[in-house]
Structure 1
Amino acid sequence: MQILAVCGVKNSGKTTLLEKITAHLSKEGIKIAVIKHDGHSFVPDRPGTDSFRLKAAGAYGAAVFSSQCFSIVKDIDPPVTEADLISFFPEADLILLEGFKNSPYPKIEIVRRGVSRTPVSNPDGLKRCGRHLPPDPGNSPADLAAGGHSDFRLMYSAFSLE
């Protein structure tokens, strides 16, 4: 199993880049898991679902499963670590982390003019940093992820599965 983190500030293009990398590599038969860090509180369930109702009633955790997938919502204390989350995906060939700027894992960072002020990642493990990419129509996150910009190719080549 290999791990790569994609870092950058909000709206720098992390999710778009990960989406394109995931689509490309999964077509090649690579089993990919993605773990996203959210720096803010988020609601992992929808109002009206049974699991939401049971959690709202006071359950500290709720799980829903079928023969194809499962979901667990659980209050955590102490906070979960990336290692805890990685352990949920032992069969993955590649785990992509969105965020995790201070992690020791190999990482690439997207730094975009007009969006980012400065790189935010801990330099430990930083493989590539796509810098000063102007937010114009030719360099949108989707265009970068499509491989139309040389800095994207540098970021993409930062991590090899071989």
Structure 2
Amino acid sequence: MRLYGVTGWKNSGKTGLVERLVSEISARGFVVSTVKHAHHSFDVDHPGRDSHRHREAGAREVLLASRTRVALMTELRGDPEPTLDELLARLAPVDLVLVEGYKRDRHPKIEAHRAETGQPLIAPEDATIRAVASDSAGTLGVDRPVFDLDDTRAIADFVLDEVGL
């Protein structure tokens, strides 16, 4: 499975870039999945719903299915967070998996960067970052390709070339 990451600091434009890349790459006929890392607790379920009641009763996994969507919720119940490789093994085969976050993992990435965050670039210290997408593209002075953060087509071309699609 081909894998490419989008990383960056909080509010750097990662989610918007992933969203645009999924749309652009899917429109080109490729099947794309995503993995998003959250640094906080989250819930996709709602109190009072049957699936939530199953989880609250102690179910380790709850598989919720309809004719339009399937969701598998797994309660870790004290077990360690799964690694990115373990999560990828759960996905059905696709042409490309875009990974948001997982800054410390060793897959190839593009860094999303917005000057207004005041955060430094991660790229100079991380060889897994193969390019930068920024709102201040002309002023960064990095030793790898730099794209305008909103140039989705060029970024998609780069990612697809990088993964051999």
**What is the TM-score of this pair, normalised by structure 1?**
0.79
1:113-156, Cα deviation, whole Å (9 max, x unpaired): 1214113466132101235639xxxxxxxx933x28xxx84x54
Query: Deviation above 6 Å: which 4+ runs of structure 1?
Result: none
> Between the two proteins, what is the percent identity of the paired residues?
30
Q: Which runs of 5+ in 2 are unaligned?
A: 138-147
Unaligned 5+ runs, structure 1: 135-142
Letter matched to residue 36 of structure 1: K
**Cα pair distance change 1:19/1:27, threshold 3 Å:** same
Cα distance, 1:26–1:11 mapped onto 2, change above 3 Å: same
8 Å CA contact 2:133–2:149 kept in 1: the answer is no
How far 1:69 moved relative to its partner?
Answer: 3.5
Instruction: After superposing the two structures, state which structure 1 stretch, 67-76 or 30-39, moved more.
Output: 67-76
CA pair 56-156 structure 1, distance change in 2 beyond 3 A: same
Partner of 2:12: 12
Equivalent of 2:149 in 126, 144, 150: 144
Q: Report the number of matched residues.
A: 149
User: What letter matches 2:149 in structure 1?
Assistant: L
1:108/1:158 contact within 8 Å kept: no
Secondary structure of the residue aligned to 1:73 is strand
> How do 1:22-61 residues align onto structure 2 when only pairs under 5 Å count?
22-61=22-61
- Give the aligned partner of residue 117 of structure 1: 119
Offset, 1:158? 3.8
Report the aligned-residue RMSD: 2.5
| Residues 65-118 of structure 1: per-residue CA shift (max 9 Å, x gap) | 235542111122121111111112242100000001111101011121121411
Confirm or deny that 1:70 pairs with 2:55: no
Alignment counterpart, residue 99 of structure 1, candidates 90, 98, 101: 101
Q: Give the TM-score normalised by structure 2.
A: 0.78
Task: Look up the match of 2:130.
Answer: 127
